[in-house]
Chain A
Amino acid sequence: MTATKAPSEPTQKPAVRRPGDRIFAGTAKASGILILLVLAGVAAFLIGEAIPALTAPAEEIPGGEGLAAYIGPLILGTLMGALLALLVATPLAVAIALYVTYYAPRRIAAAMGYVIDLLAAIPSVVYGFWGLAVLAPALRPFHTWAADTLGFIPFFAGPASSTGRTMFTVGLVLAVMILPIISAISREVFSQAPALHREAALALGATRWEMIRMAVLPYGKSGVIAGAMLGLGRALGETMAVAIVLSGGAGATLTLISSANPSTIASNIALKFPEATGIDVNTLIASGLVLFVITLGVNMLARWVVNRRADFSGAN
C-alpha cells in the first residue's frame, strides 16, 4: 500500500485534461448556457420592441384608449377560452388515462395510448380547419338552445351566434388539442402508482374502482394537476385554431355563445400582425409580452409541481 501510494499521488492531482476534452466540454457547456440566453433574449427583445407601445400616448394605440384598454379584453378572451378547455379536457383526460392504464385490454392498451397521442401530432392549423368546417356548424343548435334556456347565466347570455364561431366552440377545439397532453402525463403517473399499494387494495377485496380511488388517484393527484397546468399553458398560447374558428369582436363580454366574444391575444396577433405597421406592431408585441409572461408563470408553476413530486417519488 505505502509503496504504491507515493508515486500515485502526484499523477492524481493535476487531472488529465486533454485539449479535445476541454473543447468538447466547453462546447457542451456553451450550448447549455446559450439556451438560457435565448430564453432571456426572448424576454429582452420582446420588452425592447414593446417599449414604444408602453410609452406612446393613449390615443395612438389602436382603439384610441390606451394599452390597457386594448389588451384587457384580449386577456379576458384568452383566459376564458383556455379555462373552458381545461374544464372540459381534464376530467376526460383523467378518465382516458385510467382507461388506458387500468381498464383497456393489456394487449391493445399501448396502441390505444398511441392513438390518443396522435391527437397531439395533428398541426394546430388543421384543428382550426376542422373546428370551422365541422364543429362550429354542429354546435349551432346547441348555441340557440343555450341562449333560450340558459340565457340567465352570464356565460350563456344571448343573442346566440348564427355561425357557431364562438368562444364556446373555440374552448371545445382547444379541449381536444390539450387532451393528449393532460392524458399523457396522467397516464405516466397512474402507471407509476406503487404496485404494492394496488395489490394490497385488491387483496383486501377492493373492487377495481376502489383500488384506483385508494391507491392510484391520491398518488397521481399532483401529476394530474401538473398535466392540467401544462395543458392550460398550451391552450393559452394556442394561435391558429383560435384565429380560424373564432369570429371575435372587440369588447369585454363574458358570454361564450354570442358573436361579440373578445378575441384572444395569440389569435389577435396572428390576424393583425401581417398587415400591421408602426406603433401597431409594437402594441401587438406588447400583447405578446403579456401572453409570454402569463404562460411562463403557468408553466413554471406546473414544472415546480412536477419536480416537487419527482423529488418525493425518487424512492421508486
Chain B
Amino acid sequence: MSTPTRIAPEVPARPTGPVRTQRRLPRFAPLGLYLAGLALGAALAALTGSGLTTAVVYGVVLGTLAVFVASRIVEGPRKATDRLVTALVTTAFGIAMVPLLSLVWTVLDNGLPRFDAQFFTNSMYRVVGEGGGAYHAILGTLIITALATAISVPIGLMTAIYLVEYARGRLKKSITFFVDVMTGIPSIVAGLFAFALFTLLFGGGVRLGVMGAVALSVLMIPVVVRSCEEVLKLVPNELREASYALGVPKWRTVVKVVLPTAIAGLGTGITLAVARVVGETAPLLVTVGLITGTNLNPFDGRMATLPVFAFYQLTQPGTATQAFLDRAWTGALVLIILVMALNVVARLISRFFAPKTGR
C-alpha cells in the first residue's frame, strides 16, 4: 500500500515520447518481411533463369537480411542479433529436413515400381533379368536378426541387471566405460571380428549365417545394455525394499518385481536395438556373403540378407540393368519400412505396456 505513494513523485520525471528501448516491430512484421524476402528471392531467381534450389537459397538469404536490417533500424542491434539467430537456427532445421524428405521421396519413387507380390514371394534363383524377388533375402535378414537378438538380449539384459543391482567399484566402472566404447565399434570391424573368430575355429573361407549373427551381436549388445540399464535405474527403490522386507530373495525380487515393472522400457530398448542392426550391411557382407537361392539354415553356408542383396543389385547389375536397379531400390524401401515399423512398435510398447503407477 505504501509503494504507490513512494513511486508517485517519480512518474512526471519519465521522459515523454517514445522510449527507444521499448520500440518493437509489430507482431507479424518479421514474418511478413521474411516472406517478402522469399518472394524477392524467387523473383530474382526467375529473372536469372535458375532453378528451384537457387530460388530458395536467394529467398532465405534475402528474407533473413530483411528481418535483420528492419529489426536493427527499429529495435536496435541486440534485438536484431536475436532475430538473426532465430532465423539462422530455424534455417538449420529446414536444411536438415531436406535430405530426409529427399531420401524418402527418392526411395519411394524408385522402389514402388517393384513393390509387388513377386518381390516378396520369389527368390533370385536362376533369375538373370527381370522378375525375381527378395524372398530369400528377407527371410535371411529375419533369421539372422532373430539369432543376433537371441544372443544379445540375455547377455545384454543380464549385464544391465548386474550393473544396476549388483556391481560395485572398479568392475562396474570399467564395464560401463567399455560398453560405451563398444557402441562406437565400426560395423565392418565387428564383421572382421566374426570372420577372424570363425576362421580360427573352422578354417579359412568359411561363410555362415551364424557368423553374421555374432557380428551383429557385437554391435547390438552394448545398445541393449545401455537402454536396459537406463530403464532398470528408473525402477523405484521402494519396490525392491518392500520385496526384501517380505523376505523375498534378491534374485526373485529382480525377476518378479524389477523386471515386470520395467518391462515396457525393456521392450522399447530391445526393439530399438533390433532396429539398429537390422539394416547393417557391412558385417554381413564380409561374413555371410550372398546367394541367389533360399537358404534358411544359418549353420550351413552362405545366406542372402536384404541389405547385402540391395547393395549387390545396385553395384553389380547384370545385363538387364534397370531390373536390377528396380530390385535394389525396392530392397531399400523394404528395409526402411522394416526399420520404421520397428520404431513404431517400440513406441507402441512403451505406450501400452507402461506400468500403471499413480504418478
B-binding residues in A (CB < 8 A): 18, 20-21, 23-25, 27-36, 38-39, 41-42, 45-46, 48-49, 91-92, 95-96, 98-100, 103-104, 112, 115-116, 118-119, 121-130, 132-135, 176, 179, 183, 207-210, 212, 230, 233-234, 236-240, 243-244, 266, 269-270, 273-274, 277, 281, 284-285, 288, 291-292, 295-296, 298-300, 302-303, 306-307
Contact = CB atoms under 8 A, between A and B. Distances in A.
B279 A35 contact: no
B196 A121 contact: no
B99 interface: yes
A41 B190 CA distance: 11
B340 A41 contact: no
A302 B315 CA distance: 35
Given A21-B250, A46-B189, A39 B182 contact: yes
A95 B179 CA distance: 29
A21 B251 contact: yes
A291 B189 contact: yes
B279 A129 contact: no
Interface string B314-350: 1100000000000011001001100110010000000
A20 B311 contact: no
B158 A28 contact: yes
Interface residues of B, number: 92
Q: Output the residue of B89, B195, B276 with the most chain A CB within 10 A.
A: B89
Contacts, number: 269
A239 B282 contact: yes
Contact of B281 (A123, A236, A274): A123
B100 A18 contact: no
Contacts of B185: 42, 237, 292, 295-296
Contacts of B38: none
B189 A119 contact: no
Given A35-B221, A207-B81, A96 B184 contact: no
Nearest to A177: B99
Contact of B178 (A25, A39, A210, A240): A39
A96 B189 contact: no
B103 interface: yes
Given A35-B182, A124-B279, A233-B184, A129 B332 contact: yes
B110 interface: yes
Contacts of A48: 196, 200
5 contacts: A28-B159, A32-B158, A122-B279, A130-B107, A288-B188
A91 B280 CA distance: 28
A112 B186 contact: no
Given A95-B88, A266-B282, A31 B155 contact: yes
Contact of B82 (A121, A207, A244): A207
Nearest to A288: B192
B270 interface: no
Contact of B86 (A23, A92, A103, A135): A103
A3 B359 CA distance: 42
A291 B343 CA distance: 30
Interface in B198-231: 199-200, 204-205, 218, 221-222, 225
B259 to A, nearest CB: 12
B189 A292 contact: yes
9 tightest CB-CB pairs across the interface, nearest first? A237-B186, A123-B279, A95-B92, A24-B251, A299-B184, A28-B162, A207-B82, A239-B282, A45-B196
B249 interface: yes
A204 B314 CA distance: 59
A129 B107 contact: yes
A122 B282 contact: no
B335 A238 contact: no
Contacts of A125: 279, 281, 307, 310-311, 332, 335
Interface string B231-259: 00000000000000000011110110000
B208 to A, nearest CB: 15
